[in-house]
Chains A and B, each alone.
Chain A
Amino acid sequence: MYVADSRAAGTPAPASADGAVRHPAGRRRAAVAPTVLALGTVSLITDVSSEMVTAVLPLYLVAGLGLSPLGFGLLDGVYNGFSAVVRLAGGHLADRGGGRHKWVAGLGYGVSALCKPLLLLAHTLTPIGLILAADRTGKGLRTAPRDALISLSSPPESRGRAFGVHRAMDTAGALLGPLVAFWILRATVDGYDAVFTVSACVAVVGVLVLVLFVPGGRSGAVTAAGLRRPTLRAALALLRTRDLRRITVCAVLLGLATVSDSFVYLLLQRRIGVPDRWFALLPLGTAAAFLLLAVGAGRLADRLGRWRVFLAGHVALLAAYGLLLTSWHGTALPYTVLLLHGAFYAATDGVLMAAASDRVPEGLRSTGLAVVQTGQALARFACSLLFGAAWTVWGDRTALLASAVALGVCAAWCSLTLRPAREAAV
């Protein structure tokens, strides 16, 4: 592949015994690695494809097929557990054989791409549910290897920015998808089949870009660690390394206090009475802020330290909770809350991966990232269950207050635990 690893074979970063990658400090790359741009493009295209489907799905079920979509989400709980297993398996598979990240990620993108044309054939809830589950399995499979590729193709000192660029491109795709989908619906009559066909074509382009423009196999960097074929035991031993365990524990603790997006929008709507017409636009506000701030937050993470920015992101979330708890009713409230919510994602999503990458040996990069992601995802799922229960028992304000307190305590604890002794060098 012409877009060789920007770190080039000449300066392989030596992996130390405990897995931390040391690197000649201070040298700053002007550009983001071509691999990162290629992966960002793949994500952008894939997100256009998947968000097209997501955007029209409720309409398709109700208006197109005449189905009642209620109770459709009942399997989400079961599926979350399965998805966690897939994620871990994807991470492990990608590491085996010295870096098959590209091919496992490609498999994940491929599975999701195959699901789109299948939607044309399914006309009842059960098959549609299964197809969506397969789609998400593909997403679970690809996330960790993709993030591993991003981290492996960027020098440690600019990894935050690399992840920031990737997340910004990813979010841009998510914002574009619904626009394309509704444009097609507008241009056609009952054009759900056209939406699914176009979505499938777009997804195939995404897979092609991955196959053609993302370097595969073992890159120059993955050598010393890659030669040793990572075993399941090595993967499990990852959790015994103190650094990764701390990161995972912190991601889990903070995840447990991260109220799920839909609750945030619901609370926002209750507080200020967002007109129903605008309710569906609230997630777009978060996404727009995420898109605009992702690169900046990544750069800041490179400069100030990843943990500082990661925790600052949670402070932004805490501020959003705080605003929702106050009695301030200004017109700026929804904008401010959504800005803070987007800032939270910008400062945490990619930054966490950048931080975790520093702590995982290259040969186990996908596995390590999968462990952190899975821990965080499960914690957030648990939080949404707990929050729902707390809402039932105490009401929305008290439930949010409890979450805010929990978030504050977890953030404080993590800032003490993770005070970066090593990161000062980066």
Chain B
Amino acid sequence: MTFRTRVLVLVAAVAGLAAVALASVLHASARADRRDEVQPGGPRVTAGRVTLTAPGRMVFRNMAWGPHRDELTSVPAADPAAPRTASGVKCLRFHAASGTGVCLQAVHGPVTDTYRAVILDENLHVTRRYDVPGIPSRARVSPSGHYAAWTAFVGGDSYAGTDFSTRAAIADVRTGELIPSLESFRILKDGRAYRAADVNFWGVTFAADDRTFYATLATRGRTHLVRGDLRTRTVTTLRTNVECPSLSPDGTRIAFKKRVPGLPADAPWRLYVLDLRTLRETPLAEPRSVDDQAVWKDTHTLLYALPGDYGADLYELPSDGTGKPRRVSTAAVSPAFLP
């Protein structure tokens, strides 16, 4: 082949490949139009006023296609299939309690996306903003509404990097003070001080006393349930193989996802409830793998998300191991209940 032929071959190939590449980009950007149209048979969503103090409501991220996709919406907790009221506030993850909300958002920058956590007051006005170091994963507000916590995935910056870590942060929303990473807490593992470079925290859940919290600590390939103390800045390991704990409103039980041996690596978890007094575990009646931090609707009902046609659907299940999972909302994630 002469040089000229080679160049021609390359130019022709580049032209063909560029056409394929362009077509794929155009195809993907046309999705924007489709997603802005309301899906037939999907939930009805209308713009309206959403507050974090209206009693008996469930507030969540609406994932249904249409103009209100990804916005915080509210429905009556007793009738989650009712038409949704959309707030105009977009969140990836959300939680709320006592008139305080935490909303994890993407910020579209000129080069890459960054993320932030915003604290919302009862009228969904932003009161504080914090940088989030990676892709948001879990969000929680303490029952008092005084503290907010979130977890983000950080990593993947080396060549085909596959090593991810998590960063869990807690903010005091009254003073604005931020604990950027629980890794700064002293760790007591099996009664002894523990230090390691590979420590990761995720899935914070708060007790009602504004001091105690629970979370997952991972180190050396194992996960531990830890009880944290915001005053002494200490976490103590309690038990292994507990992820994404969620404390019941009465503070007696923890719902969590547990890695069950023999399940496929892609779907390794089952939902369990741990009684904090007896330390007895009860498997729940959900036969599928759940990758979510469950939310207590009341002292005996749990809600959690499973993948659905439009991102995720919400399911409800008794917390005592009985019953059957029931889908309560389609195209919805990150619910919070306003008592």
Contact = CB atoms under 8 A, between A and B. Distances in A.
B145 to A, nearest CB: 24
B84 interface: no
A328 interface: no
A54 B264 CA distance: 25
B339 interface: no
Given A193-B28, A212-B6, A279 B154 contact: yes
B162 A72 contact: yes
B153 A129 contact: no
B164 A191 contact: no
A391 B162 contact: no
Contacts of A136: 159-160
B20 interface: yes
Interface string A371-409: 000000000000000011001110110000000000000
Interface string A263-290: 1001000000001110110010000000
A191 B135 contact: no
A204 interface: yes
A124 B137 CA distance: 18
B260 interface: no
A50 B159 contact: yes
Nearest to B195: A392
A277 B167 CA distance: 13
Nearest to B219: A392
A188 B32 contact: yes
B291 to A, nearest CB: 5
A395 B162 CA distance: 25
A209 B166 CA distance: 40
Contact of B156 (A54, A67, A393): A54
A74 B268 CA distance: 15
A188 B218 CA distance: 36
Interface string B137-172: 100000000000000011111111111111100000
Interface in A59-79: 59, 62-63, 66-76
A57 interface: yes
Contact of B153 (A69, A73, A75, A213): A69
A283 B157 contact: yes
B218 A208 contact: no
Interface string A181-195: 010111111110110
B190 interface: no
Contact of A276 (B24, B31, B131, B164): B131
B272 to A, nearest CB: 17
- In this complex, the member of A202, A266, A392 whose beta carbon has the largest number of chain B beta carbons within 10 angstroms is A392
B25 A184 contact: yes
A271 B182 CA distance: 17
Given A62-B153, A212-B6, A262-B163, A189 B135 contact: no
Contact of A391 (B3, B32, B167, B197): B197
Contacts of A415: none
A50 B158 CA distance: 11
Contacts of B14: 205, 208
B28 A73 contact: no
Contact of A62 (B135, B167, B311): B135
A98 to B, nearest CB: 22
A276 B14 CA distance: 39
A191 B3 contact: no
A198 interface: yes
A197 interface: yes
Nearest to B25: A194
A188 B28 contact: yes
Interface stretch (B107-115, B119-127, B207-215, B226-234): B107-115
B27 interface: yes
A410 B154 CA distance: 33
A417 B20 CA distance: 55
B21 A201 contact: yes
B18 interface: yes
A91 B329 CA distance: 57
B251 to A, nearest CB: 27
For chain A, which range describes its interface: under 10, 10 to 19, 20 to 34, or 35 or more residues? 35 or more
B131 A275 contact: yes
B175 interface: no
A68 B291 contact: yes
Contacts of A396: 197
Interface string A350-380: 0000000000000000000000000000000
Given A279-B133, A388-B197, A54 B160 contact: yes
A18 interface: no
Interface in A125-141: 125-126, 129, 132, 135-136, 139
Contacts of B134: 58, 276, 280
Interface in A38-91: 50-51, 53-55, 57-59, 62-63, 66-76
B164 A58 contact: yes
Given A139-B159, A283-B157, A388-B198, A188 B266 contact: no
A402 B134 CA distance: 31
B105 to A, nearest CB: 13
A178 B112 contact: yes
Contacts of B28: 184, 188-191, 193-194
A261 interface: yes
Contacts of A63: 92, 135
B19 to A, nearest CB: 9
A179 interface: yes
Given A126-B265, A262-B158, A201 B20 contact: yes
Nearest to B108: A186
A2 B5 CA distance: 11
Contact of A73 (B29, B112, B132, B163): B163
B10 interface: yes
B307 interface: yes
Nearest to A65: B307
Contact of A193 (B2, B24, B35, B307): B24
A244 B294 CA distance: 59
A8 to B, nearest CB: 17
A63 B106 CA distance: 11
Interface in B73-124: 92, 108, 111-114
Contacts of B166: 70
B263 interface: no
Interface in B25-39: 25, 27-29, 31-32, 35
B248 interface: no
27 contacts: A2-B3, A57-B161, A58-B153, A63-B92, A66-B291, A68-B137, A70-B164, A70-B165, A70-B166, A74-B221, A76-B162, A129-B162, A135-B160, A136-B159, A182-B112, A184-B28, A188-B25, A188-B32, A189-B35, A193-B24, A194-B29, A197-B20, A201-B18, A205-B17, A276-B132, A280-B112, A396-B197
Which 6 pairs across A and B sit closest by C-beta, in order of nearness? A276-B133, A73-B163, A188-B28, A191-B28, A197-B24, A391-B197
